[in-house]
Amino acid sequence: MKKNVFPFTAIVGQDKIKKALILNAINPSIGGVLIKGDRGTGKTTAVRALADLLPEIEVVEDCAFNCDLKSYRDFELYK
């Protein structure tokens, strides 16, 4: 069952958070985004809304960080 997610484009007044999330989605080598703010500012809503827009990826089973399969295989070559 899929949850209803607030649309990313409907989030208003969080331009810095939205820009940081979009840049990280475009270039994951940025390494992530740390979002800090008071309760009720829409941090989780923004993240879930963007995640709903992103394509599904194949992940490594039992990886706590949802490692994508290609990067994991590349990493295994250097072990």
- Note the pLDDT of residue 49: 92
- Residue 2, in any domain of the structure: no
pTM higher than the cut 0.85:
no
Q: Helix 15-26 crosses helix 43-53 at what angle (to 10 degrees)?
A: 40
Q: Please give the residue range of the domain that contains residue 39.
A: 8-77
Is 68 within a domain?
A: yes
- Under a CB-based contact definition with an 8 Å cutoff, are residues 35 and 47 in contact? yes
Token pair for 62:
């039992």
* Residues 52/58/61/65 CA torsion (nearest 10 deg): -50
In a domain, 1, yes or no: no
Q: Are 63 and 72 in contact (CB under 8 A)?
A: yes
How many domains would you assign to the chain? 1
Q: What pLDDT is stored for residue 17 in this prediction?
A: 92
pLDDT tens digits for 29-74? 888 999 999 998 889 999 999 988 888 877 777 777 777 777 666 5
pLDDT of 2? 64
**Alpha helix stretches (DSSP H) within 27-66:** 43-53
**Is 3 inside any structural domain?**
no
